[in-house]
Structure 1
Amino acid sequence: MRYYLLPLVLLLSFLVVLLPGCEPKEDIITTDSSARLEFTQDTVKFDTVFTSVGTVSKRLWVYNRNARAVRVSEISLQNRPGVTYSLLVNGEPTLTARDVEIRGKDSLLVLVRATIDPTPSDLKPFLVVDDLKFRTNGNEQVVKVLSYGQNAYFHNQEEIRRNTIWKADKPHVIFDYAFVDSLVTLTIEPGTRIYSHAGAALLVGGTLRCNADFRPTAELKPTDRNFVRFQADRREEQYQDTPGQWGGIWFLSSSRDNVVRFTEIKNSAFGLLVLNPKILRPFPSVTVENSVIQNISSAKQAFTNAGVQIALDGAALLALSGNFTARNVLMANCEQYAVEGLLGSSLQLDYCTIANYTTLANRLTPSVILASSLKINNQVKTAAPSLTMRNSIVWGSMREGEELEFVDGEQYAGNISISSSVLKTKKYDNTATLGQRKNGNILNPTEGPGYLFKSTPLRFRGKTLDFQLDTLSPASNKAVPLPGLTRDLLNRSRNSTTPDIGAYERVNP
């Protein structure tokens, strides 16, 4: 039999010799537009102390998961002013690399270099963001590159598991999150500046004492350096008043005895959020005093942790089975709610000003809302909330003129007490059970001749906003003195017999 096979073997060997060499599949370049790249990270972060280091390099691995090779037509940076970025591709320094081939199932190492003047020219931290672009088969994919130009404390997915003090000597920058463990206290010193990257949040499972021990002895200016200030890390002019740039401060179900004083929180998805969706008792509690919360987003946020699925709208103060006590607090320019109390939450507002003027032309939500029921994990949970409001203002740009909403309020009407306050509401003007034309309240005053506030977006476009009371404001001298609350948001003495309604005591010129 083997003699018959020998001619066949010889013939096959001859054909193999004549055939051209076959190119491996992983070297054949595909032009399919679905052949996309993958990256080790979506952001290259230079969180180094640039004030002491001139040039730093970071690695970015680029993966071709496709079976065939791809040709990256261009790898480039925009090089915006502030920091000089450069690339090292296949060992070659360049600003733009073209026609870079990556074999199938292979990878490419790109080194990104940032060069900055190590001499600090500005005491403020600044963020420089660039786009590292990859163009492949008509697709453009972008990896963000960001750098900070000042010495700072960086908190990148940091878990704080012992009592900690955030000092004011350098700014603090939060990436993703900083988490305060239960039974642990985070203390933030007067004058501390906290900058959060997109989507980042401060999560408090223990206790937050933010400027809790600051005791001013004189009148403060709104720009006083002793205020603690939370904001986003984008410092460009167009981002100064943009809501929703970072997550806010979230108090979890294990959190207790939190104090936030002389603090500004701005440009976030939430200002202060108590998140207790399992309605665990005792409820987390937060005391807020002499603070400003403004420019809060309207975007709905989904929460899926710990077996809980829930979606919440942005608010300056949002309590989900939690307790807030707010005194001398300004809540301004929220794109949706300013105060939201859900599922058994208890809210006490004394000398607060809610001035909810928004960039949204069609805001349809009231500034203050209470609700006794909420869908969690597709099941409706029910618990009656409560609200005590004294000497406060609830106002805003709602077109229908309604800045109050008590969802199913007849069921918990006994839990609502509002007195000596200025309210913008038509719904609760004449209703018997929930009507608020009583207890010294002032409902729907006209905006002239005495305006409520010195400057609003509707009254003076382009002028610096000022929610202190105007000269002839209907809120002047209409409050009832409250024990222990003899000073306003800026630590000015209140009239001892007829103080002003709201967070600010009017100062005579």
Structure 2
Amino acid sequence: MKQFFLLFSILILIVLSSCRDDFESEPSFGELEFSQDTLYLDTVFTNIGSSTYSFKVYNRSSRDIMIPKIQLNEGENSNFRLNVDGVAGKTINNINILSRDSIFVFVEVTADIQELSQNQLSFLYTDQINFDSEANQQQVQLVTLVKDAKFLFPERFPDGSTETLSLGLDAEGEEIQIDGFVLDQGHLTFTNEKPYVIYGFAGVPSGEILTIEPGARVHFHENSGIIVSNAASLKAKGSLSSTDLLENEIIFEGDRLEPEFSNVPGQWAAIWLTEGSTGHEFDYVTIKNSTVGILMDSNDGSSEPTLKIKNTQIYNSANVGLLARTGFIDAENLVINNSGQSSLNLSLGGRYNFRHSTFANYWRNSFRQFPAVLIENNLEAGETLFVSDLDVNFSNCIIYGNESIELLFNKSDEAEFNYKFQNTLLRFNDINNQYTDNELYDFENSDLFENVIINEAPQFQNTEENKMIIGEESAANSFGNQNTANMVPFDILGKNRIENPDSGAYQSIQFED
């Protein structure tokens, strides 16, 4: 009998609660609270949609309320868009909030800077969201910075297809194509007037030079990049900046400008220097958040390096920072850090000289099975092994990371394998004695390893934030070879290193507490 009355009571409660009218709410009384009174949507490119931002609206009272109208102040003319409690629009009516409850408001923006302000490169665009009206009205301000840009993208044809670039034939004789376009004569010089936003691969045609001037900003959409064809060149030559804004440096990065994307790897594809391309120069350049920073296929067979790279930083590559297959590279003041595989992979031989460079890998996004520096004179493709002679020299460098071993060789006896490390700090902690009897890692052999330091800390400033300058207690302090320092008399920040040179791309500093 007691069970019957208990079940009956529960049934009555369910029926009564189901009969509640959810719209029996009192009108808003002007006492809403907000998680923020101004919503900053960060920077967006003109006509490119932003990320979705949100804030919360609280009803702290003991009464259920109904907000009769939530509206953008500019109404239908606003470039902002709202979604309130699952309802989208620019004016939204009759939104209920239960007592001591809250709702989310989601906001996006897409704006055309030419409509907002003529002849300005950036424009601070604002609006506000009005909650209720008249005496009960409350507001949340909306702010975003809209930047003008030059957009480069493949042509779209009437049948819905888009322009592509041919990469040759695959093993079955089928043509390999990627979304992309060929840069015409009017787009072979990138200036610092406006940022560039590239969709697909921008192809530098044979015999032409893509020149990128100091201070230029080049942004890539997902799966986009630059591809330099046979007999073409890329010359990205910035200059030393005087502020942290890197106003004279050239920066390659993704097209998401929100702070949460500032260090996200794999946002775009690569700068691809294809076989036969020639005369590439990078100076005062930052390459960040790509899949591969620079991919270099082969060299042009000349006596001069195919790629001269100096005062350059490559960070947050999902796979490899600098991947060279039979490359010919001359580098100084080069810094690479945080790569999903290797920061530097010299694959299938080639000729390389690295002076005063820092190759580090403190990747923390996933498991990493490759060292910071991987050096090979062979490449397996299916059942075929390709080999090519290797000659590489490191002088006054740092090779370090958060794994025990950050330098590995992959040698085939079918091709030359020549290397020399001089005045270089190395991470090679062979805790399992895998390489004890391997002559490739005979660090006592001065013909291969002359004056090297093993497993002593470089004391980087902040590896997670890619601040790879070294402190005064670094093992690389005063360890540089003077002859090499004379060849590279200034570090990547323009600091003179002739007297008392340190190894790596940076002269040491005293860190602040």
TM-score, normalised to structure 2's length? 0.63
Aligned counterparts of 2:495 and 2:422: Cα–Cα separation in 1: 23
Give the residue type in structure 2 aligned to 1:494.
R
Which residue does the alignment assign to 1:322? 327
Q: Choose from 223, 229, 245 the match for 1:199.
A: 223
Which residue does the alignment assign to 1:461? none
Tell me the alpha carbon deviations over residues 299-358 of structure 1, each in whole angstroms, 9 at most, x when there is no partner: xxxxxxxxxxxxxxx211111122222210110111111111122222221111112111
Q: Choose from 434, 439, 442 the match for 2:453.
A: 442
Aligned: 1:153 with 2:154: no
Does the 8 Å contact 2:359/2:372 carry over to 1? yes
Q: Choose from 282, 288, 311 the match for 2:309.
A: 288
Tell me the alpha carbon deviations over residues 354-387 of structure 1, each in whole angstroms, 9 at most, x when there is no partner: 1211123521211111222223465321113222
Q: Choose from 342, 346, 366 the match for 2:351.
A: 346
Aligned: 1:186 with 2:210: yes
Residue 169 of structure 1 aligns to a residue in which SS?
coil
Q: Choose from 354, 357, 374 the match for 1:369.
A: 374
Which residue does the alignment assign to 1:403? 406
Aligned: 1:233 with 2:234: no
Which residue does the alignment assign to 1:418? 421
Residue 321 of structure 1 aligns to a residue in which SS?
strand
**Aligned CA distance change for structure 1 residues 471 and 440 (closer, same or farther; 3 Å):** same
Aligned: 1:333 with 2:334: no
Does the 8 Å contact 1:428/1:436 carry over to 2? no
Tell me the alpha carbon deviations over residues 42-82 of structure 1, each in whole angstroms, 9 at most, x when there is no partner: xxxxx99659xxxxxxxxxxxxxxxxxxxxxxxxxxxxxx9
Which residue does the alignment assign to 2:292? 270
Which residue does the alignment assign to 2:160? none
Does the 8 Å contact 2:296/2:324 carry over to 1? yes
Tell me the alpha carbon deviations over residues 5-52 of structure 1, each in whole angstroms, 9 at most, x when there is no partner: xxxxxxxxxxxxxxxxxxxxxxxxxxxxxxxxxxxxxxxxxx99659x
Aligned counterparts of 2:439 and 2:111: Cα–Cα separation in 1: 68
Aligned counterparts of 1:490 and 1:153: Cα–Cα separation in 2: 30
Aligned counterparts of 1:348 and 1:154: Cα–Cα separation in 2: 37
**Aligned CA distance change for structure 1 residues 125 and 245 (closer, same or farther; 3 Å):** farther
Tell me the alpha carbon deviations over residues 230-283 of structure 1, each in whole angstroms, 9 at most, x when there is no partner: 00001122211111110121001121010000000000011111124xx87459
**1:41-56 equivalences in 2 (<5 Å):** none
Does the 8 Å contact 1:245/1:269 carry over to 2? yes
Aligned: 1:485 with 2:488: yes
Aligned counterparts of 2:206 and 2:379: Cα–Cα separation in 1: 26
RMSD, aligned α-carbons:
3.4
Residue 268 of structure 1 aligns to a residue in which SS?
coil
**Aligned CA distance change for structure 1 residues 115 and 341 (closer, same or farther; 3 Å):** closer
**Aligned CA distance change for structure 1 residues 455 and 49 (closer, same or farther; 3 Å):** closer
Residue 375 of structure 1 aligns to a residue in which SS?
strand
Does the 8 Å contact 1:222/1:490 carry over to 2? no
Give the residue type in structure 1 aligned to 2:481.
V
User: Structure 1 residue 428: deviation in Å?
Assistant: 6.2
Aligned counterparts of 2:286 and 2:498: Cα–Cα separation in 1: 25
**Aligned CA distance change for structure 1 residues 331 and 48 (closer, same or farther; 3 Å):** closer
Does the 8 Å contact 1:125/1:171 carry over to 2? no
Aligned counterparts of 2:123 and 2:366: Cα–Cα separation in 1: 33
Which residue does the alignment assign to 2:235? 209
Aligned counterparts of 1:471 and 1:369: Cα–Cα separation in 2: 29
**Aligned CA distance change for structure 1 residues 421 and 156 (closer, same or farther; 3 Å):** same
Aligned counterparts of 2:123 and 2:416: Cα–Cα separation in 1: 49
Aligned counterparts of 2:300 and 2:268: Cα–Cα separation in 1: 27
Structure 1: tracts of 5 or more residues without a match: 1-46, 52-81, 87-93, 97-112, 127-147, 298-313, 458-463
Which residue does the alignment assign to 1:170? 194
**Aligned CA distance change for structure 1 residues 419 and 410 (closer, same or farther; 3 Å):** farther
TM-score, normalised to structure 1's length? 0.63
Residue 491 of structure 1 aligns to a residue in which SS?
coil
Does the 8 Å contact 2:329/2:353 carry over to 1? yes
Q: Choose from 102, 116, 123 the match for 1:119.
A: 116
User: Structure 1 residue 85: deviation in Å?
Assistant: 6.5
Q: Choose from 239, 244, 250 the match for 2:272.
A: 250
User: Structure 1 residue 455: deviation in Å?
Assistant: 2.5
Residue 320 of structure 2 aligns to a residue in which SS?
coil
Structure 2: tracts of 5 or more residues without a match: 1-43, 49-77, 83-88, 92-108, 125-144, 155-180
Aligned residue-pair number: 356
Does the 8 Å contact 1:220/1:491 carry over to 2? no
Which residue does the alignment assign to 2:471? 470
Residue 374 of structure 1 aligns to a residue in which SS?
strand
Give the residue type in structure 1 aligned to 2:310.
E
Aligned counterparts of 2:81 and 2:365: Cα–Cα separation in 1: 37
Does the 8 Å contact 2:337/2:362 carry over to 1? yes
Does the 8 Å contact 2:117/2:123 carry over to 1? no
**Aligned CA distance change for structure 1 residues 428 and 210 (closer, same or farther; 3 Å):** farther
User: Structure 1 residue 412: deviation in Å?
Assistant: 6.1
Tell me the alpha carbon deviations over residues 69-103 of structure 1, each in whole angstroms, 9 at most, x when there is no partner: xxxxxxxxxxxxx94469xxxxxxx999xxxxxxx
Which residue does the alignment assign to 2:282? 260
**Aligned CA distance change for structure 1 residues 244 and 354 (closer, same or farther; 3 Å):** same
Which residue does the alignment assign to 1:382? 387
Give the residue type in structure 2 aligned to 1:150.
K
Aligned counterparts of 2:45 and 2:368: Cα–Cα separation in 1: 42
Does the 8 Å contact 1:84/1:116 carry over to 2? no
Residue 316 of structure 1 aligns to a residue in which SS?
strand
Give the residue type in structure 1 aligned to 2:266.
G
Q: Choose from 482, 494, 497 the match for 1:494.
A: 497
